[in-house]
Structure 1
Amino acid sequence: MADLKWVDSARLPTRWGLFELHGFGDEDGGQQAVALTMGEVSAASSPDQTPLLCRIHSECLTGDAFASLRCDCGPQLHLALETIAQQGTGLLIYLPQEGRGVGLLNKVKAYALQDEGLDTVDANLRLGLLEDAREYSMATAMLRHFGVRRLRLMTNNPAKVEAMERDGFTVVERIPLQVEAHPENAGYLAAKKLRMGHLFDPEGEPDTAE
């Protein structure tokens, strides 16, 4: 991946409060991503500083913009922003990795296979795709721009924690980011847990019964 650099920043007032929006890209514009910050995020730059509350969120047009009930992406995004606003300091990285990195049109194809009864993992595999094609080099470049070294990472995905730690960041705490389940996403959540190893709080685990 080409070297990702900061481009510019601007105010972003939201329903949860005032964030700052930061744009990042490479020299030819082929890679673009944004981050939202609130408060002084560089406080997590040294070993003796408070770790930074952080969410690394992959783009989900259907969930984030269209409020799809097939996944939990939109509610997770909103909960992460709300949690950052409540604490007054934090960072949300928004990555262009639609459909767990397989792209929007492949995601639509996978949805069609899910309508026939396949789960999210088997649908991707049927299409000759990876079950999860995401990678986090853009996120790590953005974290380094902000001088962040220590994280309180909002995620249910242990693979995301492992990816950050492999790249030299210290994940001091994994904070579950669990939202209310819905009949339309029960199979999706079950596949996350049983096929992909995502972790859920016992009181709010998705129903995996057939």
Structure 2
Amino acid sequence: MQDNAASPALVDYVTSCTLPTPWAQFTLHAFVEHATGKEHLAMTLGDLSTGEPALARIHSECLTGDVMFSQRCDCGAQLETALQRIAEEGRGILLYLRQEGRGIGLVNKIRAYRLQEAGADTVEANLQLGFQADARSYELVLPMLEQFGIDAVRLMTNNPRKIAALGKFGIKVAERVPLLVNRNAYNNNYLNTKEAKLGHMMTAADEAAPVSEA
């Protein structure tokens, strides 16, 4: 692991510890974002300095799904599945970014849930509240990955915006690994909206498809 992130104006690496989980004993790394004071995390496993693309997940915080077992989304299941896959492979990284509710915060996410209960979809609810459909930013990913010397990943995602963001920052996405889990009666419309309005890749037809170099 490098001593200093390459973009110190964005985030500081602070400290690390071991973190035993049901799947493996990871190493947990703490970062603090300069602009907001938010605390972001990385979970790593195995030797990331080999030069081979690391199995990776960029996961945005979802308190209701990750902690409270909400079935309104697929976030908690994606988090657990990503950690399990990294453990099975014995090598990889998960970045946990504190941008709740696609970047609008927890209270506003609950407001958006209320609008969804009145008939809006997830995109419409965010727009009705005066926010973007997806207000998340991935600029912290570059200095966090640089902290571990990672410049190429096999990215577990259904979201094309994450792939585009990494490409913009010079991180090679050698492969997209689909993460299709926990579709149910409560989140079916949510997942359909992701596909129809946000361009998420919600079918398994291109599973493990390589990413174009374009």
TM-score, normalising length: structure 1? 0.91
Cα distance in 2 between the residues matched to 1:202 and 1:16: 25
Aligned-pair identity in percent equals 49
SS of equivalent residue, structure 2 residue 111: helix
Count of residue pairs brought into register by the alignment: 198
Residue 4 of structure 2 corresponds to which residue in structure 1? none
Tell me, which stretches of 5 or more residues in structure 2 are unaligned?
1-7, 206-214
TM-score, normalising length: structure 2? 0.89
Determine if contact 1:8/1:22 at 8 Å carries over to the other structure.
Answer: yes
Choose which of 170, 178, 181 in structure 2 pairs with 1:179: 181
Determine if contact 1:4/1:31 at 8 Å carries over to the other structure.
Answer: no
Residue 40 of structure 1 corresponds to which residue in structure 2? 47
Runs of 4+ in structure 1 deviating by more than 3 angstroms, as ranges, are 26-29
1:101 aligns with 2:103: yes
Residue 94 of structure 2 corresponds to which residue in structure 1? 92
Counterparts of residues 50-129 of structure 1 (less than 5 Å) = 50-129=52-131
RMSD: 1.5
Cα displacement (A) at 1:3: 2.9
Cα distance in 2 between the residues matched to 1:145 and 1:170: 16
Residue 207 of structure 1 corresponds to which residue in structure 2? none
Residue 14 of structure 2 corresponds to which residue in structure 1? 7
Tell me, which stretches of 5 or more residues in structure 1 are unaligned?
44-48, 204-210
Cα distance in 2 between the residues matched to 1:75 and 1:85: 15
Q: Using a 3 Å threshold, how does the CA distance of structure 1 residues 68 and 154 change in structure 2: closer, same or farther?
A: same
1:21 aligns with 2:23: no
